[in-house]
Amino acid sequence: MLAKFRPLMAAAPTTKAAPAVAFSTAAERDGYAQYNHTDACQHLRWTARESYEYMYARPWSRVVDFYAELVRTGAGAAGLAELFGKDEKDHLRDTNGEEPLASSEKQMSVKSSKGRGGRWERANFKIVLSYHGGSFDGWQKQPDLNTVQGLVEKHLGQFVDERKAKQLQERSLPIEGCATVAGRTDKGVTALQQVCSFYTWRKDVQPADIKDTINEASPDKIKSLVVSEVSREFHPNFSAKWRRYLYIFPLDGDAKSISEDEQSSMILENPEYKAPRSFDVAKVDKIIRQLEGKMLSYKIFARDTQASRSDGPATECFMFHSRAAVTKLYSADENCKESTPVMCVELVANRFLRKMVRVLVATSIREAAAGADEDALLNLMEATCRRATAPPAPAEGLCLVDVGYEDFDEQRCFIVD
């Protein structure tokens, strides 16, 4: 599957020169106050503007096309295996939710809930979805926007029971189902094995009916991989033990943030300025590995969070796995033999804050380019302002790979020693 995306694990190439500027302080370079970093590094760190321009100047269309092909073929997480020289068979197993109930288990579940009423009488379905981030305005349903949740719930409306349908009609609301998700994704973020659930009191609904309905909603943009009936206690978010994200960052040297003339002029104005001209993926790997096996507060790496969730346990995450490696993307077009070197960052944690992965990736690249120490991210945990971190990396590179409901097993990861 997806044989044309051939793997190539090699030494990390360096990227094209990052933007050079002629000012001695970050505040002068970017025109407004920057966070005052006190830990040492070999070069001046990129300002927020420089980091933003560098990130968005990459050839993201190649990554977007790669994710689109994975969704179109319904490859799921297994579609990424070949990218890292792995066997797809080792990643075909569905790890995205509770196993379907066997007939005996289903009978026991129904028997134990007899007479309890309410939610114990309903049928609960687990739905594993794959969708292309570039085709939707994120997961969460919003007025006048094309969202994944809006599309899914609209097509689940035909499976709503009569009682709920009547309630919706009385309130002049459209007859739609209610989909609960393991974790919301932002606009542009792809998901290969997202998990959501849907319940109904109807007894005639079959998993195959739900699967076919979703697959007909928007072909090639969203695909239902697995639909199964699960126990009443199953919740896609609260039952999850870990989530896995992959970020693909293009290392193509064609993208530039500023012109060569501008760069030469800036260096001449300040000959002592040492601009970071590249970053080493091996350095990024060393920096990001420091997060493994630790329960830390990632509030400094979050964005757009509510004030009530900006401190305390609500910001703490346990990172099971954090690695970076180099590989190559090949075009799905048989007539195109051009490849794109990319850096892949694989992160697995019990939970993630909003935009946390994208900020971690962007900040790791910035710190590696500046020649910071390997504990750079750990040092930033104590920062007093979110300007200490880099702006979020583009959403186009991020992918929710899968969600786990069993204990984490590192051997199932793509980037391992």
> Which residues are annotated as catalytic?
186
CA–CA separation, 255 vs 363, rounded Å?
19
CA–CA separation, 319 vs 291, rounded Å?
6
DSSP state of 8: -
Residue 300 CA, distance from chain mean position: 18
CA–CA separation, 129 vs 94, rounded Å?
12
CA–CA separation, 78 vs 94, rounded Å?
10
Residues 6+ apart with CB under 8 A from 206: none
Ramachandran class of 74: left when φ > 0, alpha when ψ lies in -120 to 50, beta otherwise? left
Residues 339 and 325 sit within 8 Å (Cβ to Cβ): no
Buried b / exposed e across 229-240, counting CB within 10 Å, b at 16+?
bbbbebebbebb
Measured CA angle at 386 (ends 382, 387), to 5 deg = 115
